[in-house]
Amino acid sequence: MLSDVYVIIVAYNATQWLEECLQSVSKYQVIVVDNNSSDGTKDLIKKNFPQVNLIEQSENLGFGRANNIGLSRALSSGAKHLFLLNQDAWILEGCVDNLVDLQKKNPQYGVLSPVHLNAKKDKMDVMFSKHISFEYNPYFLSDLVLKKEQKDLYDFPFINAAAWLISRECIETVGGFDPIFFHYGEDINYCSRVRYHGFKIGLSVDNYIVHDRETRKHNLENFTKAYLDYKERNYKVRFASITTPISDELKRKLAELKKDILKNILFLRWKEAHFYFTELTMIRRIIPEIIKSRELNMRKGKHYIN
């Protein structure tokens, strides 16, 4: 068992995938942070995977905060390379070992990702494919199509955090996930911080995970609480990114919402007017939180890691 490589998995009602997920990483030190599952996840781990370091929570902390707990435990145990893996994913042969070797040879890459396949392993995961498009790196797909020699690593500004290898140096410089995000958005924020502090994010095209999520759909209806939560997350992603200024864009957005409120009042569209007023109130509420987040994340340090 490799003593300086730790796999961290955040679990929440994960019995559907956990056997395959944990079996795939059984040769490593594994930490599972359980977000108060109610489907037997904890019992499954205790019975079938007693070697796993299970950290039980009394509430659902979300993805980022739970990962921070796992990262803290791994760092205090001497981890030099930390592999974050989704509960609904599993690695294929050699994936983690190869990524660790690549990171040792290329320490400027704070985050490395394998290729994400769908559950059938007959094509790439749909959302993953959007993050590695021509827009973000024209050479990856061009080299593939033109049958040129593939590079060991391709740089991208963002790859979703279903399977990240993060170096200890990166975490000690950038910190953990920002707790202003509960679930979704935290990996986008983290990648912006990684780049800000001088590290790269790389894709290794010769290593693979399976990510079983294609059948899950997320439909949002306009002017609902869920839609407002979605917008709040997106505002935090945009305005908390330390790679871009926020003042002018924020002023424009506030002015735009005030116009939307007045326009809908004039046309007696009370539901829409109320929603835009709630959205405006929400932005004003999160501005201090975002400013504090930006100020902290611009500084180097193990932020959010105990």
81 lies in a domain? Answer: yes
* Domain boundary, last residue among 178, 211, 244: 211
| CA separation for the pair 31, 33 (Å, rounded) | 7
185 lies in a domain? Answer: yes
53 lies in a domain? Answer: yes
Same domain, 275 and 199: no
246 lies in a domain? Answer: yes
Same domain, 206 and 232: no
Percent of all residues in the chain with a pLDDT value above 90, rounded to a whole number: 87
| CA separation for the pair 118, 128 (Å, rounded) | 10
**Is the pTM above the cut of 0.85?**
yes
* Domain boundary, last residue among 189, 211, 233: 211
pLDDT for the residue 246: 85
What pLDDT band is residue 225 in, cutting at 50, 70 and 90? confident
Same domain, 194 and 246: no
pLDDT for the residue 216: 63
Segment 224-230 mean pLDDT: 89
Q: Is the dihedral of CA 154, 97, 11, 116 positive or negative?
A: positive
Q: Render pLDDT for 243-273 as a digit per residue (tens, 0 to 9).
A: 988 888 889 999 999 999 999 999 999 999 9
Same domain, 196 and 234: no
Residue type, 113: S
51 lies in a domain? Answer: yes
Residue 300 has pLDDT above 70, yes or no: yes
Same domain, 123 and 238: no
**What HEC string does the chain produce?**
CEEEEEEEEEECCCCCCHHHHHHHCCCEEEEEEECCCCCCHHHHHHHHCCCCEEEECCCCCHHHHHHHHHHHHHHHCCCCEEEEECCCEEECCCHHHHHHHHHHHCCCEEEEEEEEECCCCCCECHHHHHHCCCCCCHHHHHHHHCCCCCCCCEECCCCCCCEEEEEHHHHHHHCCCCCCCCCCCHHHHHHHHHHHCCCEEEEEEEEEEEECCCCCCCCCCCCCHHHHHHHHHHHHHHHHCCCCCCHHHHHHHHHHHHHHHHHHHHCCCHHHHHHHHHHHHHHHHHHHHHHHHHHHHCCCCCCCCC
219 lies in a domain? Answer: no
* Domain boundary, last residue among 185, 211, 237: 211
pLDDT for the residue 9: 98
Do the Cβ atoms of 37 and 13 come closer than 8 Å? yes
Q: Render pLDDT for 145-200 as a digit per residue (tens, 0 to 9).
A: 898 999 999 999 999 999 999 999 999 999 999 999 988 899 999 999 999 999 99
Same domain, 42 and 153: yes
The range of the structural domain enclosing residue 236 comes to 225-297
Average pLDDT, the chain: 94
Same domain, 185 and 259: no
Same domain, 123 and 67: yes
CATH of the domain at 199: 3.90.550.10
Q: Render pLDDT for 75-112 as a digit per residue (tens, 0 to 9).
A: 999 999 999 999 999 999 999 999 999 999 999 999 99
72 lies in a domain? Answer: yes
Same domain, 47 and 167: yes
Same domain, 21 and 76: yes
Q: State how many domains the chain has.
A: 2
What pLDDT band is residue 38 in, cutting at 50, 70 and 90? very high
What pLDDT band is residue 218 in, cutting at 50, 70 and 90? low
Same domain, 199 and 240: no
pLDDT for the residue 232: 94
pLDDT for the residue 226: 87
Residue 6 has pLDDT above 70, yes or no: yes
Segment 54-64 mean pLDDT: 97
278 lies in a domain? Answer: yes
Same domain, 141 and 268: no
